[in-house]
Amino acid sequence: MPLSLQPVSGDEFAGLIAPLGPWAGASRIAVAVSGGADSLCLALLAARWAAARGIATCGLIVDHALRPAAAAEAETTRARLSAHAIDAVILRLRGLDHGPALAARARAARYAALTEACRQRGLVDLLLGHHAGDQAETVLMRSRAGSGPDGLAGMAAIAETNDLRLLRPLLGIDPARLRHTLQAMGLDWVEDPSNRDVRALRTRLRSELADNPALAADLRAEARAAGNRRADHDAAQAALLAGSAMLRPEGFALLPRGLLPPRALAALLRTIAGAAHAPPAASVEALTRRPRLATLGGARLLPAGRLGAGWLVVREASQVQGPIMAAPGVFWDRRFRLCAQAVPKGATIAARRHPGLPARVGAVMPALLDAAGDVCAGARFELVPPSPATAAPSFPEQARLSGAARVNDNYLEIK
């Protein structure tokens, strides 16, 4: 039987997921499930692998509520998982409407719901069903959009956020094999008609690659080579940041007089701004060639003053989020999370100047305010930007511990 028609065996899957560990001591994993063949197959393979190692599996079924049949399909998917002893919960998204940038909006809402569900359940490892076809589409899309070397690495097998490890064990597996695996199990799956909508860019790319398998293979090879280079650059960047930059729990960074190479500086600017993406590469390169007071990508670079001879990177005050209602675990300005089991009635979170810190730092830090607008002493905030300044290796064979400074365990207490 040709490899493209062979089901994925348990032993093969074990070989795919093992390098994405460490798994020693793991007790639970989560799998994002749409109900389609790819994610359903992943859930079943992962559950069998996990059960043999005493690890529980939680299926997180996302219902985007964009089609009348979506709710029933989510229930059907939950029943299919339950029949294989997989606990599952349905995450129904609210507020998504058809219109411009639907794919991007749906993706953001999906990942937000998955992250929150994992956080509530204490889950750290989230498995995603992206496969070799998805990888080829991603690289082709980014290549035609003029993406740089890091973007051409495509999706990473391991990607870390400050809450989760996003794991993609199937990136090297052809999607046809996943369907054959389900067929061998006697299982059906949900077919989302939107995947056939030719108005969507991914649908058109998928059709193009289906007609040109050689191109798809080249794109996957390009992604792996670029991913390995990205992993090497990330490791070097982690060591550089650990040795040259001081990232503080108050949400600012202290840099040496000579700044940092452009790639490392861009990552740090993104982290301090709480942004999803780094600022334009050309602008960062210009800044490293001639360091100066500047605002870029939601962050501000300025002389360190009394803190030393180098530079400060702080959040740009004009872009800081306004006041929000306080709640346990709520995020403010995409950077700080309130660490509290309860909050006073009517309390809000807003920027307030903090004494003892440089003015531009203290002015962009959060404070918990009671209903009268007075600061609640002892409030505790955790700096959790959406994009850490350094990332996990892109591919498992590159996996190694880095000396990068992380801010996950640093807390800010408001006196």
Question: What string of DSSP letters covers 296-309?
Answer: ETTEEEEE-GGG-S
Q: How many CB atoms lie within 10 A of CB 51?
A: 14
Query: Residues near 23 by Cβ (< 8 Å), separated by ≥ 6?
Result: 53, 55
Treating both helix axes as pointing N-terminal to C-terminal, what angle do 201-210 and 132-144 enclose, rounded to 10 degrees? 110
List the chain pLDDT tens, one digit each, 415 residues: 566 679 999 999 999 999 999 998 899 999 999 999 999 999 999 999 999 999 999 999 999 999 999 999 999 999 999 999 999 999 999 988 888 888 889 999 999 999 999 999 999 999 999 999 999 999 999 999 988 888 899 999 998 887 899 999 999 999 999 999 999 999 999 988 877 888 888 889 999 999 999 999 999 999 999 989 988 998 899 899 988 999 899 999 999 988 899 999 999 999 999 998 889 989 999 999 999 999 999 999 999 988 888 999 999 999 999 999 999 989 999 999 999 989 999 999 999 988 778 888 888 999 999 999 999 988 999 998 887 776 544 444 433 223 232 333 334 444 3
pTM of the predicted structure, to 2 decimals: 0.81
Beta sheet of 348-351, edge-to-edge order: 324-325, 348-351, 366-369
The two tokens of residue 319 are 């872009």
171 in Cβ contact with 130 (< 8 Å): yes
How buried is residue 194: exposed, middle or buried, by Cβ count under 10 Å (0-12/13-18/19+)? middle
Alpha-carbon distance of 375 to 357, in angstroms, equals 17
Q: Which residue has the tokens 């082709």?
A: 140
CATH homologous superfamily, domain 3-226? HUPs (3.40.50.620)
Long-range contacts of 273-280 (CB under 8 A, 24+ apart): 273/297, 273/298, 273/299, 273/315, 273/316, 273/319, 274/298, 274/315, 274/333, 274/334, 274/335, 274/385, 274/386, 275/334, 275/386, 275/387, 276/386, 276/387, 277/387
CA angle 329, 389, 274 (to 5 degrees): 45
The strand pair at 331-332 and 366-369 is best described as unpaired
> Residue 101: left if φ>0, alpha if ψ -120 to 50, beta else—which one?
left
Domain boundaries, the chain: 3-226, 320-383
